[in-house]
Amino acid sequence: MHSPHMRLNIWYLNYQCIAAVLDLGLQRDINTNSGISLLEQEMRTRIFWVVFTLDRMIATMMGRPIGLRDEACDLRLPQDIDDSSFQAFNQPSNSVYTGRMAFSIHLFRLAKLNSEFKYVANSIVRETPRYAYPAVIDINEWQQEMLLKLDEWYGRIPEVPGCDYIRTICQVRCQSLRMLVLRPSPAIPNPSPVSLRKCYVAAREVVLLFDQLYKQNLLIHTWNTCHSAVLGIITMLYCIKVVPDIPRQTPLDIIMSDFSAGLGVLAATGEHWSGAKRCRDILDDMVRATIRWIKDLTNQSSSIESQNPRQSSRIEPANVETVSPYDGNTGVNGTSAARPGFSEGLSHQMTMASIAAGIPSTLLPQDPFESFLASTSFGEQLQIGDTGSLDSIMRGLFDDFIPTYPNFS
């Protein structure tokens, strides 16, 4: 996001790319009928779509407006021609087809769906002016149609031998966009429990796909990898808190394994990005608090069932204490063991004071994690649909990426 050596951030680079596209007219459909070569035509189209996709990705990740609007561009797609197939006579040759361009074209189509999400999900005024596109009347119907489009896009991901990495990246991009469509947004501030269940599944899939790439030594530790992994973990935590049926219906060991996979990816990324390690340390405590909350929730449900004679005919001795196989001093197999961390590489236990010291007080409460264990519902701590709280957490985690310049005055 920010290079302290070059003093350039992603916003400056994105602006320069958009300015170059507009100055060169790459957003217009100029083809071989205008006298240019096939190579020039394809290069113009490809460069446009790369900038278009980058703009949509950055705007979606950081919650900013898009910089290059769809209606100002000729959204023609490039041809499925490999670079090695171009000849001097402006005709594709009969060389071996690698299929890599097919993945790029497919990702460009996903960028168009990303644009639709930015246009609709962030719109709060339904009475649009007449010069704008027709307003979406039924936002829930649009959401279902968007999910169907994503399902169709997912099913058409190219299957090319030797391209496992880019295929997995396509799956990550699709699940990430699905997660954004289902989570709270300005257009849908209070998603239904069904939508949040689907959102949890999409966020979990993002985390597991990154873990799969990491285990195959294919994970590239870029800034968007860090952001996607953090967003996936935070979304899982949010859905678990808002929809208690998710932890009730999901085995605890599976939940712990999923969080461990995500934290492991961040720990590996932390070797390249210092901000990723900081995010991992904070999320580790949030996950621990959530796991304890799930245990308390399970114990409360068990005690209620044991007090109801209609639900159980078994009589338990009053002096027998129930020992959870997942308590703080017991291992998964029931043997006594020290509680392990959620991922490897944490050299010492982080205290709440040391974690909160590097975060502005306006972003986190005085006791940000232990409050999850209170008896009050999660809806009182973090209002359902209050996207500002979720965005504040994300901004606080990525403070290290904000550029700072020396004051020469």
Which residues is 86 bridged to in the sheet? 92
DSSP 3: E
Confidence at 378, pLDDT banded by 50, 70, 90: very low
Specify the pLDDT at position 224: 86
Alpha carbon distance 111, 60 (integer Å): 11
pLDDT higher than 90, residue 288: yes
Q: Residue 369: how many CB atoms within 10 A of its CB?
A: 21
pLDDT in tens, 382-408: 444 444 555 565 556 555 555 555 555
More confident residue, 102 or 100: 102
Q: What is the pTM of this model?
A: 0.71
Planar angle of CA 391, 395, 396, nearest 5 degrees: 115
